[in-house]
Amino acid sequence: MKGLPLAGLVVLTFLAGSAQAARLVVEIEGIRSASGSVYVALFSKPEGFPDGNFCDQHMKIAAAAKPLTVIFDNVTPGNYAVGAYHDENNNDHFDTDLVGQPLEGYALSNGVRAVMAKPTFQQAAFTVGTADTPISLQIRY
């Protein structure tokens, strides 16, 4: 019987934490064809950004030559960055040339693009609070 109040506290703590989570709604535009897939990755820390192997969550969806929407549920408040690429040849890999320049369409949050250096998490970061957060990505080739 002594463990029952503790169990109730644990359940209430879990429910309170769940109530603080939000949905991140990512609208993706600019996909030029329905060939292949679109990969979308959510990052919560700078380490490994924008390499999808280091993301917190990711999704793979069928490509379409129209706007697509991806929803990440249960996102805790904090700073995040999102990246997406159109794997048009469907090889499950973000293709680059010999010097590392992208060969496939991609987008990062805040419209960040690789110019002379790899984009940073800080450049692409945005804040998620407790309410649903919409962002949009524009795939460019």
- Report the chain's mean pLDDT, rounded to a whole number: 89
What class does CATH assign to 22-138? Answer: mainly beta
Alpha-carbon distance of 90 to 7, in angstroms, equals 48
- Tokens at residue 15, please? 């429910």
Q: pLDDT tens digits for 83-140? A: 999 999 999 999 999 988 899 999 999 999 988 888 999 999 999 999 999 999 999 9
The model scores a pTM over 0.95: no
In 3D space, the residue among 9, 140, 134, 11 whose CA is nearest the CA of residue 86 turns out to be: 140
Q: How confident is the model at residue 11 (pLDDT cuts 50, 70, 90)?
A: very low
Report the relative pairing of strands 22-29 and 133-138 from DSSP bridges: parallel
Largest CA distance in the chain: 66
């700073």: which residue's tokens?
Answer: 79
